[in-house]
Amino acid sequence: MNGFIDDKLIDHTVTRICEEKNTDLRHEALEGVRCVAGLWQASDGDSQDFTDFCVLHFAATEEDRAELFSRLEAVSEKLYGSALAVSVQLQWAVHVDQGKLLPVDDILSAWSPDAHLGDDLFANKLAFVIHLNFPYRPLELKLHDGGSWSRQSWAEARLGDMLNERAPASVLQDLSAAYAAAQSYITSYNVYPAALLDEGAATDFPADKRLLMHWNMRDEIKAQYAQPGGLRRQQLLAKVMERVVDGSIPLAAVDNPAHSWDPFAPCAGHEADRRYEHLHAIFKAQRGYDLWSPENPTHIARRFNVHREIPEKEVEHLFHELLGAPQLSATAKLLSSQLGRPLEAFDIWYRSFDQSSKPDEQSLDQLCRQRYPDARAYKADIPRILQVLGFDADTARWLSERIEVDQARGSGHAMPAAMRSEHVRLRTRVPSGGMDYKGFNIACHELGHNVEQVFSLHGIDQYFLAGVPNTAFTEAFAFVFQARDLLILGVDSVAREHNPLTAYWETCEIAAVALVDMEVWRWLYANPEAGSTELRQAVIDISRSVWNRWFAPAFGIKNSLLLGSYSHMIDSAMYLPDYPLGHIIAFQIEAAMKGQSVGDRMGSMCRLGRLAPGHWMQQALGTGLSVKPMLDAAAALAGR
């Protein structure tokens, strides 16, 4: 705040507003003037300029306020929607596989077209108009009072969330460049398992198999449970993943089918710190942003208080409650009995507790390849898929017309839109021989995101409420779709009964991964001068520590590094807690939908929009966010 904007000037400004505009909205004027004062800088004008601006632009009647809101709504959709559309195009080559990457693609993907937008909107004072009339509402107020707000009040609060921090364009561009470089690194991090040696002998992995770290590596371990000799292949793949975490993987083995190596043998030419240099660059860029975020002065605080709107300690408590329950040891004992062997660390990825009949993955691969030879075939099948999930024909057509499908260079993702004239995009990896089952399963997950994105943008009544409360909620809908992949594929005639043990085990695994992510970022802030080598060792230590605290007693195995293997930790910076939150929410959504189809309920839930998480849960499901339903269901099957 400028030194001359003190309480006396604020009071003087509010008094002038009330007198000159003949309004009794003194409380509203005081809130708005204080909000503007917190962002006003010397370059914006002196004390007279400040007061004159506030008097001129305060909407002193409900009619003026409604007209201003409407004007800002139309402009914001076009402005932010266009900026996102340009970003999608700039990042196209990095995300979509339509030929080789060129050196210029790194430059294009690192450029953020809206990096200067905040600077521009403060310079021309539009940002101040917003904060004067629709001031920022702190998280505490949203959580305490939001349950009684109208949808219009919530939309106005979301408008007030915009431009709440005044970071310079150079800071935003540094962030964009750091994330883009990390994403480029991750999307090209493939391992060719046929190049692996086992005590000097060749392995029997297919020669054309290419596994993206970590997604395809993890899913290949899952698939090997049903295969003869699968245990040894799982052990090899898990060792590769641990060597990625500790940096001892040969650099020559990354994205190279010609380099043969034994994951259990010493080797030269390690990747060393390369993975962690990207995470460290993101941390440094976030530190630059911290200076411009006084209310939430760390990336950790912004992730929880701004992006999730669930306090960090509350999220951590949910994860501890889940992992600390006696159901974890009981489920581990049951799993060991089911597998007929002592548990291995990679058994955190086991997903077949129901033991129901399911075709082997090779037959599923064949079926998927026949049905989806390319991304266009998946796009053409979306109307049928949605009708299988219970959407009526008109709704299925309306949704599918707003979803485009692209061939992904990485594992796949869902790209939202920010204006209703744009389509959302599903990116999925389809090899030259057609989509395999792993790719199909991921595509079903991404389709869940896309359907949510269409409902909560194209089907919303208030633009500023577009979306869902936070990323965990869109992940929840993605998990709901992904769980019905065999129904979508036609293998199952009806949706399989939701298995509580599978849901619980999966949520425990990703909750522990999220705790690693959270603790790594705490370490970064506690050791801001440390370099990439120290960061690598910290990730190793934290991965082992989290494993030893929660899983070692149940598994009888210490010091596993697998919890540090997720690529999101490198290129998405504190995204991982959204996954276990998403699983918890998905479990509660599944319970609310029992006896109904996805198509019966999803639209009404998504159209609630971007309320605070607790208020959304109450309106959509009639309950708050809790792990108790999942723990109770797991206890009924595994015991305590």
Q: What is the pLDDT of residues 118-138, one digit of tens each?
A: 889 999 999 999 999 999 998
Tell how strand 190-191 and strand 211-212 pair up: antiparallel
Task: State which residues form the domain around 514.
Answer: 298-354+498-594+601-638
SS3 142: helix
Q: How many helices (H) and strands (E) does the chain have?
A: 31, 7
Other CB atoms within 10 Å distance of the CB of residue 141: 12
Q: Establish if 606 belongs to a structural domain.
A: yes
State mean pLDDT over 383-391.
Answer: 97
pLDDT for residue 98: 80
pLDDT for residue 292: 92
Do 475 and 605 fall into the same domain? Answer: no
Other CB atoms within 10 Å distance of the CB of residue 514: 26
Q: Establish if 37 belongs to a structural domain.
A: yes
More confident residue, 498 or 207: 207
For residue range 151-194, list pLDDT tens digits in order: 999 999 999 999 888 988 899 999 999 999 999 999 999 999 99
More confident residue, 100 or 279: 279
Mean pLDDT is lowest, of 88-92, 153-157, 166-170, 635-639, for: 635-639
Tell me which DSSP letter residue 465 carries.
Answer: G
Do 563 and 460 fall into the same domain? Answer: no
pLDDT for residue 548: 98
For residue range 33-63, list pLDDT tens digits in order: 999 999 999 999 999 999 999 999 999 999 9
**Domain boundary residue, one of 154, 182, 205:** 154
Q: Is 22 exposed, middle or buried (0-12, 13-18, 19+ CB in 10 A)?
A: exposed
Q: Is 461 exposed, middle or buried (0-12, 13-18, 19+ CB in 10 A)?
A: exposed
pLDDT for residue 356: 64
pLDDT for residue 362: 87
State mean pLDDT over 325-342.
Answer: 96
| Distance in angstroms between the alpha carbons of the first and the last residue of the chain | 56
Task: Please report, to the nearest 10 degrees, the dihedral formed by the alpha carbons of residues 601, 602, 607, 608 taken in order.
Answer: 70
Alpha carbon distances (Å) from 53 to 11, 17, 33, 49, 99: 15, 10, 10, 6, 53
Alpha-carbon gap, residue 242 to 561, rounded angstroms: 5
Q: Which of 466, 470, 468, 448 is nearest to 457 (CA)?
A: 466
Do 52 and 136 fall into the same domain? Answer: yes
Do 458 and 529 fall into the same domain? Answer: no
Q: Which residue has the tokens 């364009």?
A: 169
Q: Establish if 119 belongs to a structural domain.
A: yes
- Rounded to 5 degrees, φ, ψ at 405 are -120, 130
Element holding 155 (H helix, E strand): helix 151-161
For residue 602, is pLDDT > 60?
Answer: yes
For residue 353, is pLDDT > 70?
Answer: yes
Do 543 and 627 fall into the same domain? Answer: yes
- Rounded to 5 degrees, φ, ψ at 311 are -55, 145
Do 554 and 588 fall into the same domain? Answer: yes
Please give the tally of structural domains in the chain.
Answer: 3
Do 467 and 549 fall into the same domain? Answer: no
For residue range 449-471, list pLDDT tens digits in order: 999 999 999 999 999 999 999 99
Q: Peptide bond before 615: cis, by omega within 30 degrees of 0? A: no
**Domain boundary residue, one of 108, 138, 154:** 154
Do 14 and 122 fall into the same domain? Answer: yes
Do 441 and 558 fall into the same domain? Answer: no
**Domain boundary residue, one of 107, 137, 154:** 154
SS3 304: helix
For residue range 533-563, list pLDDT tens digits in order: 999 999 999 999 999 999 999 999 999 999 9
Q: Which residue has the tokens 């089918």?
A: 257
Confidence class of residue 106 from pLDDT cuts 50, 70 and 90? confident
| Residue 482 and residue 441 in contact, taking contact as beta carbons nearer than 8 Å | yes
Q: Establish if 251 belongs to a structural domain.
A: no
For residue 640, is pLDDT > 60?
Answer: no
Alpha-carbon gap, residue 587 to 571, rounded angstroms: 27
For residue 253, is pLDDT > 60?
Answer: yes
For residue 432, is pLDDT > 80?
Answer: yes
Do 510 and 607 fall into the same domain? Answer: yes
Do 350 and 406 fall into the same domain? Answer: no
For residue 3, is pLDDT > 70?
Answer: no
Q: Establish if 506 belongs to a structural domain.
A: yes
pLDDT for residue 567: 97
Alpha-carbon gap, residue 1 to 35, rounded angstroms: 10
Other CB atoms within 10 Å distance of the CB of residue 145: 13
pLDDT for residue 355: 62
| Residue 550 and residue 327 in contact, taking contact as beta carbons nearer than 8 Å | no
For residue 290, is pLDDT > 80?
Answer: yes
Percent of the chain with pLDDT over 70: 99
For residue range 498-536, list pLDDT tens digits in order: 789 999 999 999 999 999 999 999 999 999 999 999 999
Tell how strand 424-428 and strand 403-407 pair up: parallel
Alpha-carbon gap, residue 119 to 408, rounded angstroms: 34
For residue 320, is pLDDT > 90?
Answer: yes
What integer best gives the mean pLDDT of the chain?
94
Confidence class of residue 497 from pLDDT cuts 50, 70 and 90? confident
Q: Establish if 235 belongs to a structural domain.
A: no
Give the ranges where 389-531 is alpha helix by DSSP (H): 393-400, 437-458, 471-482, 485-489, 500-526
For residue range 575-596, list pLDDT tens digits in order: 999 999 999 999 999 999 988 9
Confidence class of residue 80 from pLDDT cuts 50, 70 and 90? very high
Q: Establish if 564 belongs to a structural domain.
A: yes
Q: Is 206 exposed, middle or buried (0-12, 13-18, 19+ CB in 10 A)?
A: exposed
For residue 1, is pLDDT > 60?
Answer: no
Q: What is the 3-class SS of 5-23, one letter each residue?
A: CCHHHHHHHHHHHHHHCCC
Do 447 and 550 fall into the same domain? Answer: no
Q: Establish if 278 belongs to a structural domain.
A: no
Q: Which residue has the tokens 């009526």?
A: 392
For residue 360, is pLDDT > 90?
Answer: no
Alpha-carbon gap, residue 396 to 380, rounded angstroms: 12
